[in-house]
């Protein structure tokens, strides 16, 4: 089937996305876990509404400008967690404006960030909720120990303009035990200090169906689950049929019997490997490897004849759906197997 | 020095860019090579004008929509080569419009593309110039042999609505000898068939200062040379002082003595490795490796104490400048060492 859509393009199957969202929501409901999807995967207010309809308590964003785009894009988004250390007067002013519009919380993993937030929000009418980010093994951001978490919780609780909102982590895959023991100890120390821990929020699509193995967490922030991608299929977490986002590309050259070139390169698929070999999966063609990308070309190779003709379309499941979303101004929404409309990716490129 | 620019941001030093452009133009002038810069690196009409001022004969674009944005953005861009196999009625209609506005040429490496172009341009007033793309070792697009190049040249010359414009290649680094022998034989065959070869165009920044070693080529299409990047410094083609594009980022967390986290991740630096280890170079800090990116975080590690504080700014030379340009809606232009203005990256995200 050749689609009359100019390529390269991102196609989103809304039926598949809805099924993915409902499946995790059902699991979370069964285990009493609140769901707060990370919108970085879709960057679409409409998709956030679909997640809220399914039962999500709010959304997660990574940057202030991303949160602004989402809140601007849907009046139904009323509860936003920004899982980021926010610094600098411009961003704090934007944050203040957001805080008057929605239920907002942010995170901090160090004293400088807490002091910056407090210096700003001490002068505003509404206090800002701040969670402590904890490192449960991913070695990115986060305080290193439960004792540090408790110290920072106390600092937040005592800081003018701030309210302590709980604990946040982005754990490595399969780290339920570490997560549980870190958070249990941090909670004990914080409560011993006379504070409540309103929320313990964890995340990550690969481990989401094991979220209940860390019962200390009250909330989960899956992102990629709405679309899935090649990395999740290779990990055995999803099947190709669960992949809601695909890239439609056209073969522009077949310069050798075993090689074809498509009009989607790193400006579409990105160079994200996520530990895999190759840059995506051509649906229906297990024999093909996308072994090389330049900015506007993708190279498809096969051990045998490639069997593709110039002008033919292929559909590709990218390694990493979230980053592909960020490369497009708009995506094509399919429902019932047919193109329905185009949605503008309003939160694309929001790095501030 | 802390700049009062919200981070992450792309800074472009116009003095360095101008020096880079002039240096290659001087080399090309000395050797009688026409310069047709590839604008993918900057995607800025203003920067194309700087290149034209230096002596460029026109510009190179990779996609039709990219060419549209550049032509729309500057009345001084009057000569455009799109080095791409163009297919499909929507793109051909856009191409036709461009062809009425500027001196336009495109490439083809197969019969299907030539026939599609001819079917469209046979019905238009102005013929379209088409060059044959040749594979001189990069194994991406391009006809495989000089004999094939000659056959396709003849097909173009005989096709209604088209004019044969010469030969185009994007050779691998250091392939002057292959390029020379391929093009010499192709030119011989084409001329023996009674056709002229108006242009032989080659490209690639890494080998640009050896362009004269393939004297058969009449034109060169450097892209990255305007900005340079870490990949070119590591190859010994440029120095850090020649890097006109840098990413300004802020340290948001120092969660361990040897680790710092910045607010620039793959949405800024991209995952392009270009064969390198790590995701960029922190200026002035040879000891630091950017060993991991997530979408909004970059991880900096050192063997010793990282010596960075939360809130501190760092400047990074990315692995690959061209792809970073594509991640930003606007860049900060510096002249004389101070921020001057913001330029909108009008050709960003133009994948069609």
The answer to whether the CB of B282 falls within 8 A of the CB of B300 is yes
Mean pLDDT over residues A148-157, rounded?
Answer: 98
Note whether residue A136 is domain-resident.
yes
Note whether residue B193 is domain-resident.
yes
Reported confidence tier of residue B233, pLDDT bands at 50, 70, 90: very high
Taking the Cβ of residue B135 and every Cβ of chain A, the question of whether any pair is shorter than 8 Å is answered with yes
Note whether residue A90 is domain-resident.
yes
Asked if B285 and B151 sit in the same domain, the reply is: no
Note whether residue A212 is domain-resident.
yes
Mean pLDDT over residues B185-197, rounded?
Answer: 98
Asked if B240 and B102 sit in the same domain, the reply is: no
**C-alpha to C-alpha distance for A172 and B119, rounded to whole angstroms:** 55
Asked if A237 and A327 sit in the same domain, the reply is: yes
Note whether residue B13 is domain-resident.
no
Last residue of a domain, one of B177, B205, B226: B226
Note whether residue B19 is domain-resident.
no
Asked if B214 and B257 sit in the same domain, the reply is: no
The answer to whether the CB of B207 falls within 8 A of the CB of B171 is yes
pLDDT of B1 strictly over 90: no
Asked if B161 and B238 sit in the same domain, the reply is: no
Residue indicated by tokens 């500057």: B74
pLDDT of B48 strictly over 90: yes
Q: Which CATH number covers residue A275?
A: 2.40.37.20
**C-alpha to C-alpha distance for A328 and A325, rounded to whole angstroms:** 6
Burial of B337 (0-12, 13-18, 19+ CB in 10 A): exposed
Note whether residue A4 is domain-resident.
no
Alpha helix stretches (DSSP H) within A210-273: 230-234
Q: What share of chain B is helix, strand, coil (3-state, %, to 5)?
A: 35, 25, 40
**C-alpha to C-alpha distance for B330 and B342, rounded to whole angstroms:** 6
Q: In chain A, which residue's Cα lies nearest the Cα of B89?
A: A6
Asked if B124 and B242 sit in the same domain, the reply is: no
Could you report the per-residue pLDDT of A9-61, keeping only the tens digit for each? 999 999 999 999 999 999 999 999 999 999 999 999 999 999 999 999 999 99
Domain that holds residue A217: 31-225
- Specify the DSSP element, H or E, that contains A84: strand A79-85
Last residue of a domain, one of B226, B243, B268: B226
In this structure, the dihedral spanned by the alpha carbons of residues A177, A179, A180 and A181, taken in order and rounded to 10 degrees, is 90
* CB contact (8 A) between residue A349 and residue B113: no
Burial of A181 (0-12, 13-18, 19+ CB in 10 A): middle
Contacts with B322 from chain A: Cβ below 8 Å: 295
Mean pLDDT over residues A312-335, rounded?
Answer: 98
Averaged confidence pLDDT in chain B: 97
Residue indicated by tokens 């800025």: B44
Predicted local confidence at residue A43, as pLDDT: 98
Q: In chain B, which residue's Cα lies nearest the Cα of A298?
A: B140
Asked if A71 and A203 sit in the same domain, the reply is: yes
Residue indicated by tokens 């250390």: A85
Reported confidence tier of residue A1, pLDDT bands at 50, 70, 90: low
Q: What share of chain A is helix, strand, coil (3-state, %, to 5)?
A: 35, 25, 40
Reported confidence tier of residue B2, pLDDT bands at 50, 70, 90: confident
Note whether residue A241 is domain-resident.
yes
Q: How many distinct structural domains can be found in chain A?
A: 2
Averaged confidence pLDDT in chain A: 97
Could you report the per-residue pLDDT of A270-290, keeping only the tens digit for each? 999 999 999 999 999 999 999
The answer to whether the CB of A17 falls within 8 A of the CB of A244 is yes
Predicted local confidence at residue B4, as pLDDT: 87
User: Smallest Cβ distance to A255: which of B90, B141, B268?
Assistant: B141
Last residue of a domain, one of A180, A207, A225: A225
Predicted local confidence at residue A4, as pLDDT: 87
**How far lies B331's CA from each of A1, B193, B324, B340, in Å?**
41, 49, 10, 11
Asked if A83 and A220 sit in the same domain, the reply is: yes
Angle, alpha carbons B179-B182-B188 (nearest 5°): 130
Could you report the per-residue pLDDT of A49-77, keeping only the tens digit for each? 999 999 999 999 999 999 999 999 999 99
Asked if B60 and B189 sit in the same domain, the reply is: yes
By DSSP bridging, strand A259-262 and strand A298-301 are antiparallel
Mean pLDDT over residues B291-311, rounded?
Answer: 97
Percentage of the residues of chain B whose pLDDT score is greater than 90 = 99
pLDDT of A168 strictly over 80: yes
Percentage of the residues of chain A whose pLDDT score is greater than 70 = 100
Structure tokens at B173: 């680094």
User: What residues 157-186 of chain B have any CB closer than 8 A to a CB of chain A?
Assistant: none
Asked if A137 and A212 sit in the same domain, the reply is: yes
Reported confidence tier of residue B271, pLDDT bands at 50, 70, 90: very high
Asked if B70 and B110 sit in the same domain, the reply is: yes
Contacts with B324 from chain A: Cβ below 8 Å: none
Predicted local confidence at residue A3, as pLDDT: 81
Asked if B54 and B194 sit in the same domain, the reply is: yes
Q: Which CATH number covers residue A96?
A: 3.20.20.10
Taking the Cβ of residue B6 and every Cβ of chain A, the question of whether any pair is shorter than 8 Å is answered with yes
pLDDT of B3 strictly over 90: no
């Amino acid at each position: 089937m050749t689609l009359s859509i100019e390529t390269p393009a991102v196609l989103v199957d809304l039926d598949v996305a809805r099924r993915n969202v409902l499946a995790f929501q059902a699991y979370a409901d069964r285990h009493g876990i609140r769901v707060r999807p990370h919108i970085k995967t879709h960057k679409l207010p409409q998709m956030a509404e679909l997640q809220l309809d399914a039962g999500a308590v709010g959304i997660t964003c990574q940057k202030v400008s991303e949160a602004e785009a989402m809140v601007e894009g849907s009046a139904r988004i009323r509860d936003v967690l920004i899982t980021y250390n926010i610094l600098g007067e411009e961003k704090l002013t934007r944050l203040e404006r957001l805080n008057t519009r929605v239920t907002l919380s942010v995170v901090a993993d160090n004293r400088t960030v807490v002091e910056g937030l407090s210096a700003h929000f001490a002068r505003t009418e509404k206090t800002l909720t701040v969670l402590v980010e904890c490192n449960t093994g991913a070695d990115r951001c986060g305080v290193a120990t439960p004792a540090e978490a408790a110290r920072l919780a106390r600092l937040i609780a005592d800081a003018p303009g701030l309210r302590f909102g709980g604990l946040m982590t982005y754990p490595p895959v399969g780290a339920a035990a570490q997560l549980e023991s870190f958070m249990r100890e941090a909670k004990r120390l914080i409560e011993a200090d006379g504070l409540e821990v309103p929320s313990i929020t964890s995340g990550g699509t690969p481990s989401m169906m094991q979220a209940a193995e860390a019962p200390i967490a009250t909330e989960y922030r899956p992102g990629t689950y709405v679309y899935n991608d090649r990395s999740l299929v290779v990990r055995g977490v999803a099947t190709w049929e669960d992949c809601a986002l695909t890239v439609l590309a056209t073969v522009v050259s077949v310069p050798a019997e075993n090689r074809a070139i498509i009009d989607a390169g790193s400006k579409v698929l990105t160079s994200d490997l996520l530990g895999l070999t190759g840059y995506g999966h051509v649906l229906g063609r297990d024999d093909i490897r996308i072994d090389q990308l330049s900015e506007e070309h993708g190279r498809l190779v096969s051990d045998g004849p490639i069997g593709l003709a110039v002008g033919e379309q292929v559909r590709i499941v990218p390694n990493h759906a979230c980053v592909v979303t960020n490369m497009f101004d708009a995506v094509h929404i399919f429902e019932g197997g047919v193109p329905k409309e185009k949605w503008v990716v309003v939160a694309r490129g929001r790095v501030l």
